[in-house]
Structure 1
């Protein structure tokens, strides 16, 4: 997106709605103006340097949630001025160096009575929900600037925003994953979770494998969809699965074939046709399913169901 400057409240509504999610504005001072400079780290993961001059209230109203749904979390790292985040009948007072999380699937208010400076990290819901138990209870709660985890996160985001223009796309992607991990660590610390909770590349890979299990019956579920749900690029997803000796496509296919094998050998499912089982597990073409099954198990689905042994 780059840098955008707004000289009026009307322009600012457009800037923040394009930068984040559809929003509205209230209680704006007459001389209000602002700027937002956004860097895309990964698909769906951005960091935005936001400066506002004059008072304002930013609203994600119930109507906007309904007519313009989004599946993201936003984390505001507060660096200057006064502000507060209100969501789910909770209010997080923003102090320099601290921050607060808010969820775009539910209404919220951002109150800024003075000039402010924020760094806003936007992350798809899935990566954080996979990493932070009880995350719904954390929206609208302040992350103290004095907390060690918050200090690490704040230092990283400030440095990342400052040098992002000088990074390659691959470096931005790597640092985007780091930003998500650091945010998850800080949120877990706020929630009192054990610091040994899964994080990093292995935690992400486990989360992606779990996601595949949840979507075995979705024929439109592809490696690209898997990557998008976790806020990473297809290339990064391929690297993660490559470290485990496979690829996203091969892993999805393997898990679908294993599910088909279980169904075909389950007496309780003997009434289901082979074609029906294949279609249910995302194989839209019977011939493709049979060939893949033979490569994996050395026999056709029909032979397996008939009780024959592999050749």
Structure 2
């Protein structure tokens, strides 16, 4: 689903269709907003949302007319906002994550331009967090390894792809529930449980696949991003991918360079755009990986 609108009324229709029935108020006459949503699995969707200043409300009347047992989670990327539910307020800022429940009235208020990902799942997906669930809504979730992995997983989804990879979307959806439950269990006081190695492996892989051509991407940076040790990152790669983290990054860069050469990029341009700092290093790595020089590959393709 994709929607690009220029009024609060159109935005109300778009959001109600994508998420749950609700109402939008926008003060500025030049209101603009866009929404792109993908279905990862039955009942599980992810949306990329941008809008100018607005207030989004799901009230008792909307709930009575269209009751839903869905849970929504905002991964805020830009701007600020406030989530109000169950008598509490949570302030949204870039990097923050907040949960809210479609079965209870809530308000989302954004004073200016904003951007966020919104993950929507059936409430039963996270039922195992226990009776304290309502205490977790409208609260900024505490940073943790599972939450960091979930954020990376969400960010890795190619929202603009013309054709969806059903197998990959299903794999992502299967990983959402345990990561979300682990993130919510850390909403209270207690020791941080370790993230499951298999889930971490997939999150690391998706994170690298999304950012492999960034020359600043390193195994140490991965460890810092996911709040684990560098040694743990290396062990995960050796176990699940039979290679090291640095080698995996290099391979993904070289595969990206192959595609650039197929598109008639020069060798120097392919080296630079795929994340290599100099052409000689790129050429040697390319020949070791594929048995042919970049120029030879380009000429053959």
Q: TM-score range by the shorter chain?
A: 0.5 to 0.7
Determine if contact 2:37/2:46 at 8 Å carries over to the other structure. Answer: yes
Structure 2 counterpart of 1:135, from 115, 133, 136: 133
Q: Are 1:178 and 2:175 counterparts?
A: yes
- Determine the C-alpha separation between the residues in 2 that align with 1:94 and 1:183: 18
Determine if contact 2:36/2:159 at 8 Å carries over to the other structure. Answer: no
* TM-superposition CA deviations, 1:56-98 (whole Å, max 9, x none): 1000011111111111000000000111111001111011111
Structure 2 counterpart of 1:151, from 144, 148, 153: 148
Aligned to 1:215: none
Q: TM-score normalized by structure 1?
A: 0.59
Give SS of 1:156's match.
Answer: helix
Aligned to 1:49: 48
Unmatched tracts of structure 1, length 5 or more: 202-311
Equivalent residues in 2 for 1:215-294, closer than 5 Å: none
Runs of 4+ displaced beyond 4 Å: 161-167, 193-201
- Determine the C-alpha separation between the residues in 1 that align with 2:180 and 2:120: 11
Determine if contact 2:50/2:113 at 8 Å carries over to the other structure. Answer: yes
Structure 1 counterpart of 2:87, from 70, 81, 89: 89
Q: TM-score normalized by structure 2?
A: 0.60
* TM-superposition CA deviations, 1:172-206 (whole Å, max 9, x none): 112112122222211111234665599899xxxxx
Q: Would you say how many aligned residue pairs link Structure 1 and Structure 2?
A: 198
Q: CA deviation at 1:112?
A: 0.4
Determine if contact 1:164/1:172 at 8 Å carries over to the other structure. Answer: no
Compared CA separation, residues 190 and 165, structure 1 to 2 (3 A): farther
- Determine the C-alpha separation between the residues in 1 that align with 2:126 and 2:145: 20
Compared CA separation, residues 152 and 198, structure 1 to 2 (3 A): closer
Aligned to 1:121: 119
- Determine the C-alpha separation between the residues in 1 that align with 2:160 and 2:175: 15
Unmatched tracts of structure 2, length 5 or more: 199-301
Compared CA separation, residues 67 and 167, structure 1 to 2 (3 A): closer
Give SS of 1:96's match.
Answer: coil
